[in-house]
Amino acid sequence: MADVFISYSKSRRAETEELAADIEARGYTVWWDTDMSPGDQFTTVISTELARARAVIVIWTPKSVTSDWVISEAGRALKRKVLIPVYTSDLAIDSIPPPFDVLHTEPVTNREAIFGALEKLGIKPGELPVKPPPSPPSRRNVLALAGGSAAVCALAAIPFLRSKASDTDKPARTFEIGSDTISTIAYTIDGHNLLLGGWDGAISLRDFKSGSEVRRFDGHAHVVWSLAVLPDGHRAISSGDDGIVKLWDLANVHPIREFKGHSGEVWSVSLVPGQDRALSASLDGTMKLWDLSKDIPIRTFNYGSRLLCVATSPDGKIAVSGANGAIQSWNVDDGSKIKTLNGFDGDIIAIGVLPDGKHVVSGGDDGIIRLWELASGREVAKFEGSRKISALAVSPNGRTVISGGEDATVRLWDVSSHRLIKSFNGHAAAVESAAISPDGRSAATGDKKSVVNIWNLGGTGSTV
């Protein structure tokens, strides 16, 4: 895993080589495509290195601004919040493609700005990945794996469990699982297990109490972006960077069905309540409605630009999607647009419909959680979150919302009073995923350093 991945146009190889040398001279590790070995599969190696890099520097040049490869790599880095954009002197800065045109971008010659950006991301020269501290033998859960790849073994490493903290703003339990970001989390219906998806493409079913792995699924090519467990408790759906939606039997490691039709990464899936159907939102600018018993879409919803997240109303009639600077509501039955909410600063990364079916909660790049009235589009309240919001989860009764973001803090909000109930501290890296248990008593959050924290939400007199 390199500190820095450089995305560039081949026509500017000399400048890229100079930049890489300067960064390495500061003690950072750098990956760019000169590091490929003969016989390596080009797409696979690049995607893997891109997903694992701690920072991605994209060099915008007259040629790279029209390169599908560079734009795709920039998009994935932006999603992970590790993008450092720079430009060459011969580029008209207005030529930078959206949504990257609204980001602060420095000249590639401004090395100090680049090193400052790396420092802001928390990357220090010569710093090795954080290893979990040793735990008492009686608390360790040794996992025996037959076969599998190195990537599989990484996420399935022995979890380190910390005993429950006495302070209620500390995690009840912590699982340090591996070295890859936990990009999505879902509870099973009975609350006994967690489904985790990460940047190695695998899906891991883990015991909620011990953190030990129950079962592993070969999920997606490189990144699992979204997970949802069906109400029957036996099946789940997932989506990933390969543009595929998959239906799983949780008792079987092989997918029941694959749903193909998107031409871009699928960042979000949402179940349609009361129906054996699901919606998928993709960077190709479309949503698709799937009958889970068939492998062809029922309907395609055309938005026209990247769709980053989707949620469905409790009656299954309305869907809401998040994009750059806007939220769109949709009629699920006919695919028509209902209402567009504009005026956001940056991407809407997380979205949810409250159980009352009347309100929507959203969060994204601007660090503000907003509560909306679904029918009118009126903004009801703002919750000041963090620098960026990457994860939101709504409690089963709709009274509280939990959020996580770039500042590594998890926050619990009261929906009716619009006030912060509690801040939880226990992550040392940006929080990328969150889920609340079906009984509302606990929450699970995952971060960029592959740490999963379990939080006692209180209010019930129970512990987790």
Q: Hey, what's the torsion of the CAs at 372, 279, 448, 250, to 10 degrees?
A: 130
Q: What is the CA radius of gyration of the chain?
A: 21
Dist. CA 451–CA 372, nearest whole Å: 32
* pLDDT value of residue 175: 92
The rounded mean pLDDT for the chain is 85
Top mean pLDDT of 213-222, 281-290, 377-386 is at 281-290
All CATH 2.130.10.10 domain ranges of the chain, comma separated, are 137-456
All CATH 3.40.50.10140 domain ranges of the chain, comma separated, are 4-120
* pLDDT value of residue 37: 39
With a pLDDT cut of 70, the percent of the chain lying above it is: 86
Query: What is the DSSP pairing of strand 213-217 with strand 337-353?
Result: unpaired
Interval 249-255 mean pLDDT: 93
Amino acid at 27: G
**For tokens 């009118």, what's the residue?**
376
* pLDDT value of residue 180: 76
pLDDT tier at 143, thresholds 50, 70, 90: very low
CA distances from 47 to 40, 70, 77, 262, 412 (A): 12, 12, 11, 18, 35
Minimum mean pLDDT among 40-44, 278-282, 368-372: which range? Answer: 40-44
Does position 246 have pLDDT exceeding 90, yes or no?
Answer: yes
Architecture of 137-456 per CATH?
Answer: 7 Propeller (2.130)
* pLDDT value of residue 36: 40
* pLDDT value of residue 1: 64
* pLDDT value of residue 147: 29
With a pLDDT cut of 90, the percent of the chain lying above it is: 62
pLDDT in tens, 191-216: 999 999 988 889 999 999 999 999 99
Amino acid at 82: V
Interval 162-179 mean pLDDT: 67
Q: Is the peptide bond before 133 cis (omega within 30 degrees of 0)?
A: no
Dist. CA 115–CA 23, nearest whole Å: 8
Does position 24 have pLDDT exceeding 50, yes or no?
Answer: yes
* pLDDT value of residue 124: 81
Q: Record the tokens describing residue 198, joined without a space.
A: 């990460």
Does position 4 have pLDDT exceeding 90, yes or no?
Answer: yes
Q: Which residues contact 340 (CB under 8 A, 6 or more apart)?
A: 326, 327, 328, 329
* pLDDT value of residue 337: 96
pLDDT in tens, 402-411: 999 989 999 9
pLDDT tier at 166, thresholds 50, 70, 90: very low
What is 4-120's CATH number? 3.40.50.10140
| pTM of full prediction above 0.85 | no
CA distances from 253 to 118, 203, 211, 323, 395 (A): 39, 10, 19, 33, 29
